[in-house]
A and B are shown apart, each in its own frame.
Chain A
C-alpha cells in the first residue's frame, strides 16, 4: 500500500500532479537513481567528449487521436522538441517508436505519419531511427507513440533551479489551458468545442532565439500536465522560494475560460503543449518580452509574476482580479468534471 491507500496504479498517477511525484519518488528513483536522473529535468544533461548534450523521452497517449490544432503525431514531435528546448538545447534528432493496435486503420496512420513529418520539418529535426510494434486488438488503445530526442546545449547557457533568485520575473509566452481544454471539450463533446484549438507547437525556434539574444534567463519549463500550477509549484518546492502571480496578467482565451468554468476546472491546472514558463532576471525581462512578442509563438507573451522570499513553507500565491489573494496548490493529478 502507498500513501494513496491503493495497491494499484490509478489514472491520477499519470496526471502530472502529486501522485506522479510520488510514483517517481517512492517507486522509480529508489531503484534507478543516478546523478543525472536525480536532477529530474525535462531533459538529461550529458557531456560526451567536449559536447554538451540534452537527451529526453516522452510517451504520447491521447484521446481523441485527432483534435483541433493537432493530433498525436504532432504532439509526439513537439512535446519532445519542447523538453529539449526548455533545457536550453537546440534539438538535433528524434527517435520514434509506435505501438499499434491490431485493426487500426491505415488511413489514420497515414494522417498521423504526415503530421509527424510536417512537425519534424517545422522544428528542423530529423526522425533518425525508430521502431514499430503491433499488439492484439484490445491490448492497446489504437496507437501509442514514444519519441526520444537529442539536442546540443547552446553555448554559454546555464539553466537550473539553483539560478533562480528573489526578485526574478515569471514570463509565459501566451495563453494557458488551450490544449487541455480542447482535448477535454472534444472528449466530453462540449458544444463550443469547435472554437477551441490546442496550442500544440514546437518551441525551439523561440527559446533558442531568446537564449541567444538575451541574458538573464535562469530557468525554463513547459507547463504540460498539471498546467501552470504544477510547474510553478515545482519551482517553489525546488528553490525553497515563493512565487506570486497576478491573475489579471495571465493570458487566457475567453472560450477556454468559459469551458473551464462550465466543467468546474481551474485553468491554472490545465495542460499546455506550446507554452514555456521562463524565470528571468528583472533587468532582462523587458528585452525577453520583446523578443517573445516578436515571434509567432509569443505574440501574447506576458510577465505574470515574480519570485519572492518565502516566509515558512514555499508556496505559490495568486493575486486575484478583484484584489483578493489565494494559494495555488500542486494539482492532485486528475481533474474530474463536476456534477452541475
Chain B
C-alpha cells in the first residue's frame, strides 16, 4: 500500500510543480472529507494543492426550512418522527430534535424498514420518515414506499428531502466566483448512478471528474489522476474505483428510484434553488407525502445565526474562516449543520484538523 501511496504522491508533486499555481480540488462527498482527515491525507499533499469540502453531506445541504418543518412536526402530539441519527442534533430556530422535551416522539432509525415497522407498531400515530440523503439512501426510501403501498400501511408518510449530486455540482461551477478546478467524485453515489453520470460536468464545464473509493490509497490515487489531467490541460471522466463503480451504475436501484420519485426544483443550504435537483414523490404515491398530508410548503428561510455553512459547502471558505468556528460553534455546541453532522466539513476540521497543517 505504501508504495502505491508514494507513487501517487510523486505524481501529485510533479504535476503541481508543473502547474506552478494553486489548484483547488473539491471532494464532493462527506465520507471522503472524513476519510481525508482521518487518514491525515492533507498533511502529505503539497501546499499548492488545496482540498475543498463540497456539498456531499446530506445533513449539511438540507435547507433550514426543511429542518424547521421537521421540528414543527415533532411538536405534534399525533406524530412520531423517524429519522437517521445524524439529523437529531441539527439546530432549528427553536432547539434541535435532541434537546426538545417532547423527544419521546422522535425515534432514531438506521433503516427505512425500521421506520415502516415503527408505523406498523404504532397504528394510532402518524409516522413521518425524515427522508434525506443522496442517491445512496434514496433507493431504500423508494423500496419502503412501495412496500407501504403494497401492505396498505395507512399511517406512514415520508418527508421527501432526497437530493441529486450532479445538479449541485453543475450549480457550483456555474457560479461566477467559484474556484473549483476539479472534482473528486463520491464512490457510494457513483455505485448507484454510474460514473457516466458525471459526463455532464466534464463536458459542459471542462472540469476533471474522478471517482474514488474511500480507502486512503484510492483517494490519493484519485487526486493523482486529477493532478495529471490538470497538468496536461485535460478534463476527463475517470474512475479509480473500478471494483465497485461501473459506467452505468446499479440499474435496478435507479429503476426503484424512478418508480417512486421524480426530479423537482429544490432548495439547498448555501446553493439556493437548483433546478431539478431534489426528488419528490410521483403522483401515484402522493398519499405517502407528508408535505401534502400536513399542507406544508418549503420556503427558503434566512439563517440568522451567522453560520457560514453555505459558503463552506460551496468551497468558498474554510471552516476556520467562519467567525463562530471553535469560539461559539464547537462539537458540543454546534450552531450549523456542518458542525452537527459527523460528515460535515466543520466537524471534520474541528475533530481532526485543528492546530495542524491542513
Contacts and interface: CB of A to CB of B under 8 A. Distances in A.
Interface string B87-111: 1110000000011010000001010
Contacts of B331: 18, 329, 332
B281 to A, nearest CB: 19
Given A8-B99, A321-B216, A336 B89 contact: yes
Interface stretch (B129-137, B224-232, B256-264, B314-322): B129-137
B332 A18 contact: yes
B85 A322 contact: no
Nearest to A312: B355
Given A324-B39, A340-B134, A315 B355 contact: yes
A339 interface: yes
Interface string A289-330: 000000000000000000000001101001111111111010
Interface in B102-146: 108, 110, 132-134, 136-137
Contact of B333 (A5, A333, A335, A338): A5
B240 interface: no
Given A4-B333, A264-B342, A339-B84, A324 B41 contact: yes
A10 B98 contact: yes
Interface residues of B, number: 50
Interface string B320-358: 000000000001110000000111000000111111100
Contact of A332 (B30, B216, B332, B356): B332
Nearest to B335: A5
Contact of A5 (B99, B350, B352): B99
B37 to A, nearest CB: 6
Highest count of chain B CB atoms <10 Å: which of A264, A313, A333, A335: A264
B189 to A, nearest CB: 8
A335 B108 CA distance: 13
A4 B40 contact: no
B1 A321 contact: yes
A19 interface: yes
B115 to A, nearest CB: 13
B310 interface: no
How many interface residues does chain A have, given as a range?
35 or more
B216 A339 contact: no
Contacts of B251: none
Interface in B171-222: 188, 214, 216-217, 220
Given A336-B88, A337-B110, A338-B86, A326 B220 contact: no
A26 interface: no
Interface in B37-63: 37-44, 58-59
Contacts of A319: 40
Interface string A269-306: 00000000000000000000000000000000000000
A186 B197 CA distance: 36
B82 interface: no
A9 to B, nearest CB: 11
Contacts of B110: 188-189, 337
B38 A264 contact: no
Given A5-B99, A10-B99, A264-B31, 18 more contacts: A4-B332, A10-B98, A261-B214, A321-B216, A322-B1, A322-B40, A322-B44, A323-B44, A324-B42, A326-B37, A326-B39, A327-B353, A337-B84, A339-B86, A339-B87, A339-B132, A339-B133, A340-B133
Interface of B: 1-2, 5, 30-31, 34, 37-44, 58-59, 84-89, 98-99, 101, 108, 110, 132-134, 136-137, 188, 214, 216-217, 220, 331-333, 341-343, 350-356
20 contacts: A4-B333, A10-B98, A10-B99, A19-B332, A188-B110, A189-B110, A264-B34, A320-B40, A321-B1, A321-B2, A321-B216, A322-B44, A322-B217, A323-B44, A325-B40, A326-B38, A326-B353, A337-B86, A339-B85, A339-B86
